[in-house]
Amino acid sequence: QGTRDHPPAQVALRDRLFATVVACFKRHGAAAIDTPVLELRETLMGKYGDNSKLIYELQDQGGELLALRYDLTVPFARYLAMNKITNIKRYHIAKVYRRDNPAMTRGRYREFYQCDFDIAGQFDPMIPDAECLKIVHEILSELQLGDFLIKVNDRRILNGVFAICGIPESKFITMCSTVDKLDKMPWKDVKNEMVGEKGLSPEAADRIGQYVQLHGGLELIEQLLQDPKLSQNKLAKEGLGDMKLLFEYLTLFGITGKISFDLSLARGLDYYTGVIFEAVLLQQENDHVEEPVSVGSVAGGGRYDGLVGMFDPKGRKVPCVGVSIGIERIFSILEHRVKTSGEKVRTTETQVLVATPQKHLLSARLKLISELWDAGIKAEMMYKKDPKLLKQLQYCEDMGIPLVAIIGGQELTDGVVKLRDVATREEVRM
């Protein structure tokens, strides 16, 4: 349940998608690492809050207690701490496992790919953070998924807002998850949850509402830096200062047109400590697709300066910032697009089929195809002693093979091969 086989057409499309993403990661100087699918159970426990119940555990068959990884971030932090690495820029594309309720049509599975880029190390503020946003911008532009928006916020600003609105620190994390719903429900409902479920006074909720409904750019940052209450909060001030710096860098990158400083962005994970961001696709107004694939965010990430320290015996911290590309959701969109366009994705790369028009020519075929393989040419033949020429040509059309190399008795005598273009039916002897 919640897993699937990928037939050749899907793998071919996915490989194309991965190639774009990996090219971008490499363009930014990232190295690849790989970690086991299996982790010690204790490594994963206590890192995902309530979601820990979604972790797949292995049976105790003697030896260590194991579980399947839930994401790539916790194994990355464990890897850094274990190997005392304080400085790395890495990407990792691999499967992760969650005992969640699958929603296959929306690209949500129990086994799915994650696609992460992270920068670990003690650096000057916002330079790596800005690069993560540049990467999201590059990937979403290259994939031509339509218009998109990258929302940015900072956990320190959000916590500062909660603090000046009189919320006790113990409620910050649960407030984050309520605020995060503002992209799916109106403020009225979010306020109701704050008051009804989370026990806030209507006044406190309204005070929060005045802030978290704000979004904008540099001018909003300036405005909040002048806010008499918020600017008095140390954390918020730090966050706003860094946000201003981030927007300076993003301006130099020329990408602020797609960036929105959005105070309602909170993100679910506990471990974020600074900048957070999330990219969403914007539904075009002229979109009249019959069965639109509904997708949420297509990329997200943020700064997590405390996670590595949780795995270090001495608690030594390694600041990290990273981005995860929502590869499964993007794949659903691309797959849907291929289906509706009727485009046929080739599943093989074969350049030429070696064919014979008469019987008793298997030896000639085997000899020629062997020469082609040894010359590095992608070649196939049918595994029959005496296949009909029509069947061989049909196979080319089915598989999208562009050329046929034909050897009949005459060609053998003349020492030539007849090369036929499958689409145009043009032939040359060579």
Q: Quick one: DSSP state of residue 180?
A: G
Query: Rg for the chain (alpha carbons), in Å?
Result: 28
Instruction: Please tell me whether residue 60 binds its own copies under the rule CB under 8 A.
Output: yes
Residue 249 annotated as lining a ligand binding site: no
Residue 259's nearest CA partner among 243, 283, 236, 274 is 243
User: Rounded to whole angstroms, how far apart are CA atoms 317 and 311?
Assistant: 9
Residue 414 annotated as lining a ligand binding site: no
Q: Dmax of the chain from CA atoms? A: 95
Token duo for residue 371: 């020469």
Pick from 42, 49, 52, 82: which binds its own copies (CB under 8 A)?
82
- Applying CB under 8 A, the span of 236-244, 283-291, 342-350, 407-415 interacting with its own copies comes to 342-350
- Please answer whether residues 74 and 114 qualify as being in contact, where contact means their C-beta atoms are separated by less than 8 angstroms: no
Instruction: Please tell me whether residue 19 binds its own copies under the rule CB under 8 A.
Output: no
The continuous run of DSSP H or E covering 239 comes out as: helix 234-253
Instruction: Please tell me whether residue 377 binds its own copies under the rule CB under 8 A.
Output: yes
- Please answer whether residues 322 and 305 qualify as being in contact, where contact means their C-beta atoms are separated by less than 8 angstroms: no
Instruction: Please tell me whether residue 79 binds its own copies under the rule CB under 8 A.
Output: yes
Q: Quick one: DSSP state of residue 254?
A: T
Residue number, 84 or 288, with CB nearest to its own copies: 84
Residue 71 annotated as lining a ligand binding site: yes
Query: Residue 273: which residues within 8 A CB-CB, separation 6 or more?
Result: 155, 156, 303, 304, 305, 306
Beta-ladder partners of 74: none
What number of chain residues touch its own copies (CB under 8 A)?
A: 78
Instruction: Please tell me whether residue 30 binds its own copies under the rule CB under 8 A.
Output: yes
Instruction: Please tell me whether residue 256 binds its own copies under the rule CB under 8 A.
Output: no
Pick from 16, 19, 32, 105: which binds its own copies (CB under 8 A)?
32
Residue number, 319 or 326, with CB nearest to its own copies: 319
Angle of helix 218-226 relative to helix 234-253, nearest 10 degrees, comes to 160
Cα distances from 214 to residues 161, 243, 249, 264, in angstroms, run 12, 15, 22, 7
User: Rounded to whole angstroms, how far apart are CA atoms 292 and 277?
Assistant: 25
Residue number, 83 or 283, with CB nearest to its own copies: 83
Residue number, 64 or 189, with CB nearest to its own copies: 64
- Applying CB under 8 A, the span of 180-188, 275-283, 285-293, 368-376 interacting with its own copies comes to 368-376
Q: Which residue has the tokens 């006074």?
A: 201
Instruction: Please tell me whether residue 86 binds its own copies under the rule CB under 8 A.
Output: no
Instruction: Please tell me whether residue 397 binds its own copies under the rule CB under 8 A.
Output: no
Token duo for residue 122: 């003690």
Residue 118 annotated as lining a ligand binding site: yes
Residue 365 annotated as lining a ligand binding site: no
Bridge pairing between strands 379-380 and 352-355 = parallel
Instruction: Please tell me whether residue 380 binds its own copies under the rule CB under 8 A.
Output: yes
Considering the complex, what minimum distance in angstroms separates the CB of residue 251 from its own copies? 9
User: Rounded to whole angstroms, how far apart are CA atoms 31 and 371?
Assistant: 37
Residue number, 24 or 190, with CB nearest to its own copies: 24
Instruction: Please tell me whether residue 34 binds its own copies under the rule CB under 8 A.
Output: yes
DSSP letter string, 277-294: EEEEEPPPTT---SSPPP
Q: Which residue has the tokens 């800005």?
A: 130
Q: Report the sign of the C-alpha dihedral through residues 382, 384, 390, 395, in that order.
A: negative
Residue number, 90 or 329, with CB nearest to its own copies: 90
Binding mask 261-290 for its own copies (x = CB under 8 A): ------------------------------
Residue 79 annotated as lining a ligand binding site: no
Pick from 16, 42, 45, 83: which binds its own copies (CB under 8 A)?
83
- Applying CB under 8 A, the span of 44-52, 267-275, 327-335, 362-370 interacting with its own copies comes to 362-370
Residue number, 154 or 380, with CB nearest to its own copies: 380
H helices within 197-233, ranges in order?
202-212, 218-226
Residue 105 annotated as lining a ligand binding site: no
Residue number, 61 or 286, with CB nearest to its own copies: 61
Q: Which of residues 94-153 bind its own copies (CB under 8 A)?
A: 95, 97, 99, 111, 119, 121, 123-124, 127-128, 130, 134, 138
Binding mask 215-254 for its own copies (x = CB under 8 A): ----------------------------------x--xxx
- Please answer whether residues 405 and 353 qualify as being in contact, where contact means their C-beta atoms are separated by less than 8 angstroms: yes
Annotation: binding site:
71-73, 98, 114, 118, 267, 271-272
Annotation: binding site for L-histidine:
71-73, 98, 114, 118, 267, 271-272
